[in-house]
A and B are shown apart, each in its own frame.
Chain A
Amino acid sequence: MSKYIYYPGCSMEGSGKAYHDSLMPVCAKLELELDKINDWNCCGATEYLGINKLPAYALIGRNLAIAEQQVNGVQDIVAPCSACYLNLTKADHAMHSDPKMNEQVNEALAAGGLHYTPGSVGIRHLLDVLLYDIGLVTIKEKVSRPLRGLRVAPYVGCMAPRLNYTASWSDREQPLELDILLEALGAEVVDYPLKTHCCGGHMPQISPNTAYELIHRLINYAEEVQADMMVAICPMCQMNIDAYQSQVNQHLGTTHAMPIVFFTQLMGLAFGMDAEVLGFGTELVSAEKALVKIDNVEIPAKNKRIRKDKYALPMPQPLGNGIPADGKNGKEAH
């Protein structure tokens, strides 16, 4: 039984409910115990930090301070939402590297009888914990219905790997964690070079035309490589691509119908759980047609022998991505 302090974030109760609904049974299956931060509050999303850093860090710091009290042998906070994960790591980093900020945030926290020592708890994204702590071997063991025949585009989004304060990700721009996890579930993972490109963030509210263009690019390329669906690790990415797809079509004259689901939903499916309990059906662009493809694929009787072109030049060998074969790297949170 692995135990973590859990920071759910507001999305898990609203737009990302399918994420929450799928995460709970998946955690149970993987014997992952999540202990919610008592009376947690907003992470500030993207708005607070853009205006004034001190109140923003104090807001985030409150969660970290409570988590620190709650630690009790458990070292790491796990956040399923990339925005929450980023804000928690950003606040921790800012307090760690700027003594004045540390002092001011703690002065604010003291008003509520709280205190936070930067670096005292580890802050992890859910995908990081599943891949590196639980490990691919364990995940593969639980797979009872491999997602054969399902072509998925792994869409990581920008907030988890790009700043990478905790140095948890294999690469800032082309991280492979999600690819590897989805492959372990038996899905066919397409090379999706836009995996850390912007989903538009809060642009749908501020500048819808900008957002439509960004969302269109992501879906367009997923279609280009014939993905059946996109897979997200962040509620904001999922919401933008799912909820604004019809508006994108309306404004740009496109006919996109690309479902996007959370990776935990696909994990649950591969673990043999029912689609309904995993929040399938709540997405606006239905994933139903895509899901039919699972195991419904004709496997050619004889594997065609791949003809090696005699003129072709060798490709460079890939750089080791630091993800060990058993998926566990035994790294400490700090």
Chain B
Amino acid sequence: MTKHNGASPKEKIGVYVCHCGTNISGTVDVEDVAQWAAEKLEHRGVIVARDYKFMCSSLGQELIEKDIKELGLTRVVVAACSPHLHEKTFRTACENAGLNPYLCELVSIREQVSWVHTDKVAATAKSKAVISGGVERVIWHEPLEAMSVPIHPATLVVGGGIAGIQATLEIANAGYPVYLVEREPSIGGHMAQFDKTFPTLDCSACILTPKMVEVGTHPNVTLMTWTDVEKVDGYVGNFDVTVRQKARKVDTELCTGCGICEEKCPKNVIDNVYEAGLGYRKAIYTPFPQAVPNYPVMDLENCIYFDTGKCKACEKFCPTHAIDFEQEDEIIEFQVGNIILATGYDMFDARKMSNYGYGRLKNVFTSLEFERMCNASGPTEGKIVLRDGVTTPKTVGIIHCVGSRDKNHNEYCSSICCMQSLKFAHLVHERTGANVYNFYIDIRTPGKGYDEFYTRVIEEGTSFVRGKVAEVTNAARQPGERRKLIVQVEDTLIGKQRRIPVDMVILSAGLEPPHDAKEVAKRFGISCSADGWYIEKHPKLDPIATMTEGIYIAGCVQGPKDIPASVAQGAAASARILGKIQQGEMAMEPIRASVLDEQCSGCRICNDLCPYNAILFHEETMVSEINPALCQGCGTCVAACPAGAITGAGFSNEQVLAQIEGLLAYA
């Protein structure tokens, strides 16, 4: 097993075995492991091996520091939890005692041993094997120095919903420049579509529009709506961003936002975005009265002039001659230090659940349609009516979990639908006096003031039926069902099938990642979970960072959440970025891969494999180069390089092979 060992066998190694309370010691005989390491690995340079209840405690760390100073340790192996948790702790301890932090190796005997095994003898033997691997590996470690990169003070925020707006304002108010990019004509996101917000029932627009106006007028904010991010190059602190500002066909220098073009445009188009398909807009339009910026955009697909070459009504009537049919898309490039993705969500397409009849039965509505219906500036001016536009429903059924908690569609809970459905029940009661049924699987009201709201809705007289609705049908069986929608459901509290005739059904559709979330993730070099939401660095302790340095996520794109949580994440992401900007530069892990030019054959296999787009190919010299600032040290390219031309600092071939040999020696 020593054939690989070219380094000095005279390294002085300390091995520290953690009990982690009973997390490890419950399954692994830690005393035996420490004793074994001291005896059996002595010939490999282990001069001391200790076990301790909590290695991560300050006393545990002091133990290591003391040994380094007193015994002159040159290498440290800590057998404890995953490096994700405490690698940094023990590296810092080494550094405090004057040892280069990268001469410390963390061996996971918790996540990979004690937590996944029950057989104490086997788990103890496995611990020994992985420690042996760690000892062989650490012999090959080399001292590394952290590198530092400057941080550009500007930030890019993608997505102008409430999370993006909050993030933008936090940074701008701290005095740093922000580029806010939004693909729709106005910022505001889904929140701008709502009428009331739960549980306080304050008017959504009233609390949102002041923030939108602030973004629109803030001297530190460059607002780019009707704009897509095309390309992102560079790395934390120094991203080069290319955006495409789509042609509005309106000169924003001249436009006063008077709305005459929209009034005169003869073309009515169903508005599938802002009005959720329930209302119309023109071919030149501002999506809603409080839009920021308040300039219209021209919808080229529906514009009569672009279709037939005639019309130009908007141009004729525009008092400031702001209509510009010749306007082209504009490509804009700028630099930022950090990026926040707050790209929100799409609604689950309720047409996919044909048993609920949306798209076939006219009085079945989606939650977003209903939001627009309740909104005073919506297609019915806030009146709750059937699809005919005039009849007030006498009975309304609200179905929860449409497309959520359903293994045929999305298995996750969309988190907001219960509260949204309760809000709908309240609004229907208040505005129509209709009977309301809520069909739910479980009611989930964990937020502040949420359960109180639930109680309030119960007290208002809403009926709650527990059971997943099987079908919404117009096929009447009884005379009382004729010309009604019948909700067929198993009431699981009474154990009976029920058929409840109603006039209107509202489907509380779940939340889904934006349809292009995957492409966007790739463009920014981050990853999506199996459900398609963006993956955070740590699900509990770092929900706003991603595994790519300098890219942060906020709001629903990280997972379904309500307005307060989205706002909190937007603010949290910007707080993190402000900290980085104020430092001016940041230290980066020196665990990086590099290419040996003379061995690189230019095959480019590594180019596409790199998940962080860190590898650049030089056409003239035919070799690949790794941008050390972009590289996250994942090692994919090192393993893939057929010529062995890529080495990783901290994960060289020698280190990995030695670790395997060490492991196999006692496996």
Residues of B within 8 A of A174 (CB): 354-355, 360
Interface residues of A in 292-334 (CB under 8 A from B): 309, 311-319
In this assembly, does A138 line the interface, its C-beta being within 8 Å of a C-beta of chain B? no
Query: Which residues of the other chain, B, contact A220 by a CB distance below 8 angstroms?
Result: 477
**In chain A, what residue has the closest Cβ to B272?**
A317
Give the Cβ gap from B115 to chain A, nearest Cβ, in Å: 31
Cα(A221)–Cα(B476), bound, Å: 7
Question: Interface readout for A183-210 with B: 1 if CB under 8 Å, 0 if not?
Answer: 0000000010110000000000000000
**Interface residue B473 (Cβ < 8 Å from any Cβ of A):** yes
> B359 in the interface, Cβ–Cβ < 8 Å?
yes
A309 near B388: Cβ-Cβ < 8 Å: yes
**Which B-chain residue is minimally distant from A170 (CB atoms)?**
B354
Chain A residues, CB < 8 A from B300: none
Query: Are B357's CB and A316's CB within 8 A?
Result: no
**B354: A residues at CB distance < 8 A:** 171-174
Indicate if the CB atoms of B475 and A221 lie closer than 8 Å. yes
User: Which residues of the partner chain B approach A172 to less than 8 Å between Cβ atoms?
Assistant: 354
Residue of B nearest to A315 (CB): B362
Query: How far, in whole Å, are A315 and B369 apart by their CA atoms in the complex?
Result: 11
**Pairwise interchain contact A313-B380, C-beta atoms closer than 8 A:** yes
Chain A interfacial residues counted at CB < 8 A: 21
Cβ of A217 < 8 Å from any Cβ of B?
yes
Residues A314 and B270 in contact, CB atoms below 8 Å apart = yes
A141 in the interface (beta carbon within 8 A)? no
Residues of A within 8 A of B379 (CB): 313
A224 within 8 A of B: yes
- In the complex, the answer to whether A312 meets B388 with C-beta atoms within 8 Å is yes
Would you give the 0/1 interface string for B378-406, flagging 1 where the beta carbon is closer than 8 Å to chain A?
01100001011110000000000000000
Q: Which residue of chain A has the shortest Cβ distance to B387 in the bound complex?
A: A313
A271 CB to nearest B CB, Å = 31
Chain A residues lying within 8 Å of B388, measured Cβ to Cβ, are: 309, 311-313
- Specify which chain A residues have a CB less than 8 angstroms from the CB of B476 in the assembled complex: 221, 224
Min CB distance A78 to B, Å, is 26
Most buried by B among A191, A314, A315, A316: A316
| CB within 8 Å for A319 and B351 given contacts A314-B270, A314-B279 | yes
| B349 CB-CB contact with A under 8 Å | yes
Among A194, A221, A315, the residue within 8 A (CB) of B359 is: A315
Asked if A312 and B389 make an inter-chain contact with CB atoms under 8 angstroms apart, the answer reads yes
Q: Is the CB of B278 within 8 A of A217?
A: no
B351 partner, pick from A194, A309, A313, A316, beta carbons under 8 A = A316
The count of chain B contact residues (Cβ–Cβ below 8 Å) is 29
Q: Does B534 contact A (CB under 8 A)?
A: no
Chain A: CB-nearest residue to B386: A313
- Measured in the bound complex, the distance between the Cα atoms of B386 and A309 in whole Å is 13
Contact A311 B390 (CB under 8 A): yes
Of all chain B residues, which has the CB nearest A314? B270
Which residues of A sit under 8 angstroms from B280, Cβ to Cβ?
A: 314
Q: Using CB atoms, name the residue of chain B closest to A220.
A: B477
Residues of B within 8 A of A311 (CB): 388-390
The 8 Å CB contact of A193, one of B349, B366, B390, B475, is B475
**A193 to B474 alpha-carbon distance, docked (Å):** 7
| A318 B475 Cβ-Cβ under 8 A | no
B358 at the interface (CB under 8 A from A): yes
List residues of chain A with CB within 8 A of the CB of B359. Answer: 315-319
Q: Does B352 contact A (CB under 8 A)?
A: yes
Chain A positions within 8 Å of B351 at CB level: 316, 318-319
Contacts of A224 in B (CB 8 A): 475-476
Residue contact B389 to A193, C-beta cutoff 8 Å? no
Q: Mark B473-491, 1 if CB is under 8 A from A, else 0.
A: 1111100000000000000
Interface string of A71-104 (1 = CB under 8 A from B): 0000000000000000000000000000000000
Is B98 an interface residue when CB atoms closer than 8 A count as contact?
no
The answer to whether B387 touches A315, judged by C-beta atoms less than 8 angstroms apart, is yes
Q: A193-B357, A309-B389 are in contact. Are A316 and B473 (CB under 8 A)?
A: no
Instruction: List the B side residues contacting A315 at CB < 8 Å.
Output: 359, 362, 387
8 nearest A-B pairs in the assembled complex, by CB-CB distance: A311-B389, A319-B351, A174-B354, A221-B475, A316-B359, A173-B355, A171-B354, A312-B389
Given contacts A174-B355, A309-B388, 12 further A-B contacts (CB under 8 A): A171-B354, A173-B471, A191-B360, A193-B357, A221-B475, A313-B279, A313-B388, A314-B278, A317-B270, A318-B360, A319-B349, A319-B359
Q: Please list the residues of chain B having a beta carbon within 8 angstroms of any beta carbon in chain A.
A: 270, 277-280, 349, 351-352, 354-355, 357-360, 362, 366, 379-380, 385, 387-390, 471, 473-477
**Can you report 19 residue pairs joining A to B where beta carbons are below 8 Å apart?**
A171-B354, A173-B471, A174-B355, A174-B360, A193-B474, A220-B477, A311-B390, A312-B387, A313-B278, A313-B279, A313-B387, A314-B270, A314-B277, A314-B279, A315-B359, A315-B387, A318-B351, A318-B359, A319-B359
